[in-house]
Amino acid sequence: MKLRYAGALYDRTLALYTGEVRPEGVELDYTVGHPNQIFRRMLASAEFDVSEMSAANYLCAVARGDRRFVAIPVFPSRVFRHGSLFVNAAAGITAPADLRGRRLGVPEYAQTANVWVRALLQHEYGVRPEEIHWVRGSTEKIDFTLPPGVRVDDAPPGSDLSAMLEAGEIDALAAPEKPASFLAGSPRVRRLFPNFAEVEADYYRRTGHFPIMHLVVLQRALYEAERTLPRRLYAAFEAAKQRAYEGLLRSGILLTSLAFQTAYAERERGLLGDDPFAYGLARARATVEVLAQYVYEQGLAPRRVALEELFAAETLDT
């Protein structure tokens, strides 16, 4: 069986890309691309057999009755999001509470990263989505209806959220990627949490959540035709990830461009355990369930979706 897969290229999927690890009985044609564009193509036309997918977008689609895909509990992207909040240095924002009544830019309102940002602001700092004036920089990949009281305006056509933040046209920005103005060293842009790594580590110790951004979906027609496929794909993704872990722990040579790779890897294992990018529902269930709750309570989905609706039945015991 030849399957076309689309996703970003991570160290934990590299062995699938090179062919060193192959799903049993499957030739995987690995297309590398930017996740956001892959999501758009998959949601628009189901272009690939298997693909990386926005977890929040998938939850919203399933909640609205879209059954074109079925997920396997592989989570190739997890990112803590305290570090993705940036503010204009002159806006007088020194704490999350200062975001009340302010203009906060987001590339997309419904993207998974900003579901987590809103959840952090609400559940960790008491700032509810309706207390912020959201400014959206791009079109959404899914349809949804905003809940009462939430204000989202589109940025002017052709504008750039990073430039708007630097100019003070918005007070803050929540984005998966660091804004260009910050990368350029602008003194007018800074992080809301300068010590974001410490704040994120504390968040993990208290909640146990390493936020899931993406999962993997396959076309339901393929799944219905070959019910062993999800387990075979799952096993291959897991084997590829274990190869990446082994490389991170090596000290004779450094497989990344991090000079202190060995120290970082050992420190991370001390905090997150030996499988930080845990696949399978045995360890990821609580984080998937809380994301489903956030998507629902933020009004992006009309109902809270159960895990049994999201994942192939054959993978529920992983």
Q: Which domains does the chain have, with CATH numbers?
A: 2-78+213-242+275-315 (3.40.190.10), 82-207 (3.40.190.10)
Torsion angle, alpha carbons of 258, 263, 268, 273, to 10: 130
- Below-70 pLDDT ranges, the chain: none
Other CB atoms within a 10 A radius of the CB of residue 210 amount to: 21
Q: Give the total residue count for the chain.
A: 318
Q: What angle do CA 180, 184, 188 make, to 5 degrees?
A: 85
Question: Biggest alpha carbon distance in the chain?
Answer: 58
pLDDT given for residue 27 in this prediction = 97
Cα separation, 305 vs 310, in Å, equals 8
pLDDT given for residue 19 in this prediction = 97
Q: How, if at all, do strands 85-88 and 172-174 pair?
A: antiparallel
Torsion angle, alpha carbons of 48, 209, 195, 120, to 10: 90
Per the CB < 8 A criterion, the answer to whether 96 and 203 are in contact is: no
Per the CB < 8 A criterion, the answer to whether 215 and 53 are in contact is: yes
Residue 5: φ, ψ to 5°: -110, 140
pLDDT given for residue 145 in this prediction = 87
Q: Which residue bears the tokens 């461009």?
A: 257
Which of 114, 26, 11 lies closest to 72, judged by CA? 26
Q: How, if at all, do strands 2-7 and 151-154 pair?
A: unpaired
